Structure 1
Amino acid sequence: MSALRALRQLTASSSRSFAARTAPRSVARAALAARVAPVASRAFSVSARRFGEGASDVALTQRLEEELKFETADYPNGQRAEPEFLKAFKAQGTWAIVDVPGLDEVTLTRKFGNEDIRLIFSIADIQSDQQPEFEEEGAEAAEEEDGADEEGVTLHSYPIRCSFSFTKASTPGALTIDAMCQEGSFVIDNISYYSDAKVGTELTAEADWKRRGFYLGPQFDTLDVSLQDEFDKFLQERGINQTLAYFVPEYSEYKEQKEYVSWLTNVKTFVEA
């Protein structure tokens, strides 16, 4: 499966469970249910007129509001401050972040010599083995899932699929790499070459269809070890390293939280209208 086609299938294939998020939120929802329950028992004959046409609108709006308050409780002045890891990443000035609100995918771009490098990953890959129904089990799972390396950097055990592309203005071809980002490293699946850069990099249905018939290259782990080592050096030199592998899951969680808060706000506004 080509890198870009795999990315375009992420949303469809993902359960969108985001269990890493749901453990603490499930606790909040349980507590909120107890607080909101008395409100839900009120008569809605009058209030329902203010919230659309349904008698359930008031209760739903109350719960959305409570969830929104919980998720933004630590936001100063109602606005989430930019986290330190993101400030540090931007300060390096190596990669530019393209993050469109409302979309699952995030794109990082950079120049290296005469090369244009692009990395695409999706927050739809966030997942966990936690069981959020039980608070204690969820907490234990969270401790087991997120470890730390010797320098105290948080490790995320869930894999995030990444697609790298390399193009040059001086040549029409494109090199693409399918990889998994997990626990501070990129595990390469395969490296593909396309003689037409547009076919290899464009995110259109036509380009995706054309890529289906192309040879994707051998499985990376079947290559000679010395060749694998040289490819690793090739990527390291271009900033595709441990630092970037730590950043991808951290930013995925950061963006997922932003999208969730935005979703709560938009749904609440719609129900209230």
Structure 2
Amino acid sequence: MSAIRALRQLSTVSCRVAASRSASLAARSRLVSSVQVRAFSASARSFGQGTADVALSNSLSEELKYEKESVADSDKEPDFLREFKAQGKWQIEDIPYNDEVTLSRKFGNENMRLTFSIVDVRGEHDEGLDNESASEEGEEDAAQEEEVLTTYPIRASLSITKSNSPAALAIDMMCQEGQFVLENIAYYQDGNLVNHSTAEADWKRRGIYMGPQFDTLDVSLQDEFDKFLQERGVNESLALFIPEFAEFKEQAEYVKWLEGVKGFVDA
């Protein structure tokens, strides 16, 4: 075999080897890419149908971790709640995942139900955050904000029914700065309308005279109503407890909300 022919054959073999290696590398690259795509797709499918599910789940996890770490001994009953229960006057009806809380008690032949919502807490938090972002006075404004958060107004509704009377009273009021500010007192001939949440009961309530604005009543009459409620435990102690419990429940509901949403996204 001549040197030139041998050189040509060697060149041909080298080209074939190079081409074979190039094809092998290309095939391997396609295989790795395919595996990565399948793995990512499988991961995305495990979090529903969207590609953003994993990132959202991670963000929810971080927020959940922060909220749990920021509340010390979150699994323990706080002192203020334990002391309130120890008094044995009011029973707390706190349903998980609900906005409203009801305090109930008996006084003589009367049944009393005081209902308030944690919605006012969320609204106050949002307003506080807006004020903080717009503030330029640093720590002094932060201290003022903290003070506001402990005295924010919470709307409450008190119903009083009697076992020997078909009628009832419904009192709308604001709980603020350790006191109740009465707005109006409505009288119901049919006491069943006060606590029923049916559409029919709601329709009937709309047509009932709700009474005058409380602050337009004679001052002596206002004083007597205040004494009437004080005797029944609607007093400063209760007015201080409600915002504190509303804050406590709002935090607990937020944590449950984070857990629920994360569980749904991960499903």
Please indicate, yes or no, whether the TM-score normalized by the shorter chain is above 0.5. yes
Question: Which residue of 59, 62, 87 maps to 2:55?
Answer: 59
Cα distance, 1:201 vs structure 2:
2.6
Aligned twin of 2:212: 218
Aligned twin of 2:144: 144
Per-residue CA shift, 1:156-201, capped at 9, x if unaligned?
2321110000000100000110001111111000011101001223
Quick check: 1:156–1:182 contact (8 Å CA) kept in 2? Answer: no
Question: Which residue of 176, 196, 199 maps to 1:205?
Answer: 199
Aligned twin of 1:172: 166
What SS class does the counterpart of residue 131 from structure 1 fall into? helix
1:142–1:201 CA distance, 2 compared to 1 (3 A): farther
Question: Which residue of 246, 259, 262 maps to 1:268?
Answer: 262
* Greater helix fraction, Structure 1 or Structure 2: 2
Quick check: 1:51–1:271 contact (8 Å CA) kept in 2? Answer: yes
Aligned twin of 2:184: 190
The one-letter code of the counterpart of 2:129 is: Q
Cα distance, 1:135 vs structure 2:
9.8
TM-score of the superposed pair, with normalisation by structure 2: 0.78
1:66–1:136 CA distance, 2 compared to 1 (3 A): farther
Deviates more, 1:81-90 or 1:125-134: 125-134
The one-letter code of the counterpart of 1:130 is: G
The one-letter code of the counterpart of 1:240 is: V
Aligned twin of 1:83: 78
Aligned twin of 1:102: 97
Structure 2: gaps (5+ residues)? 1-38
1:217–1:136 CA distance, 2 compared to 1 (3 A): closer
Query: How far apart in 1 are the matches of 2:259 and 2:94?
Result: 19
What SS class does the counterpart of residue 257 from structure 1 fall into? helix
What SS class does the counterpart of residue 189 from structure 1 fall into? strand
Quick check: 2:48–2:265 contact (8 Å CA) kept in 1? Answer: yes
Per-residue CA shift, 1:37-58, capped at 9, x if unaligned?
xxxxxx9545313211111011
Per-residue CA shift, 1:227-266, capped at 9, x if unaligned?
1000000000000001100111111111111110001001
Aligned twin of 1:228: 222
What SS class does the counterpart of residue 165 from structure 1 fall into? strand
Query: How far apart in 1 are the matches of 2:76 and 2:70?
Result: 9
Query: How far apart in 2 are the matches of 1:155 and 1:187?
Result: 18
Query: How far apart in 2 are the matches of 1:81 and 1:106?
Result: 20
What SS class does the counterpart of residue 128 from structure 2 fall into? coil
1:139–1:202 CA distance, 2 compared to 1 (3 A): farther
Cα distance, 1:202 vs structure 2:
1.5
Aligned twin of 1:123: 118
The one-letter code of the counterpart of 1:73 is: E
Per-residue CA shift, 1:78-116, capped at 9, x if unaligned?
x52111111111111110000110111100000001100
Query: How far apart in 2 are the matches of 1:115 and 1:136?
Result: 49
Quick check: 2:151–2:243 contact (8 Å CA) kept in 1? Answer: no
| Structure with max Cα Rg | 2
The one-letter code of the counterpart of 2:208 is: F
RMSD (Å) for aligned C-alpha atoms:
2.3
Cα distance, 1:155 vs structure 2:
7.1
Quick check: 1:130–1:142 contact (8 Å CA) kept in 2? Answer: no
Query: How far apart in 2 are the matches of 1:255 and 1:76?
Result: 15
Map 1:254-265 onto structure 2 (within 5 A). Answer: 254-265=248-259
Structure 1: gaps (5+ residues)? 1-42, 148-153
Higher relative contact order (CA 8 A, sep 6+): 1
Does residue 239 in structure 1 map to residue 233 in structure 2?
yes
